[in-house]
């Protein structure tokens, strides 16, 4: 049981880190002028998916 709990916590942390990384990547790439709309939306979509996984893993 303890290992399962640790794995669940690790999954949530990793998913939150990916969510944050995608958001930061979009902001930085946009400031640099190297981001197209399509790629920005795709990166934000990836972040949103991992955010949803993190929220569902908490239950």
The pLDDT assigned to 3 comes to 81
In a domain, 23, yes or no: yes
Domain tally for the chain?
Answer: 1
**Which DSSP state fits 35?**
-
pLDDT computed for residue 4 by the predictor? 81
Could you tell me if residue 38 is inside a domain? yes
Dump pLDDT digits (tens) for 9-57. 999 999 999 999 999 999 999 999 999 999 999 999 999 999 999 999 8
Q: Which of 36, 37, 39, 34 is nearest to 22 (CA)?
A: 39
Q: Which pLDDT belongs to residue 2?
A: 67
**pLDDT computed for residue 25 by the predictor:** 97
The pTM for the full model equals: 0.86
Residue 45 contacts by C-beta under 8 Å, 6 or more apart in sequence?
Answer: none
- Decide if pLDDT at 1 tops 70: no
Find the domain containing 16 and state its range.
Answer: 9-58
Question: Would you say residue 16 lies in a domain?
Answer: yes
């Amino acid at each position: 049981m303890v290992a399962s709990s640790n794995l669940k916590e690790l999954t949530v942390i990793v998913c939150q880190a990916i969510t944050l990384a995608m958001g930061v990547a979009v902001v930085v790439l946009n400031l640099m002028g190297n981001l197209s709309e399509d790629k920005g939306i795709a990166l934000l979509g990836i972040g949103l998916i991992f955010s949803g996984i993190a929220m569902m893993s908490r239950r």
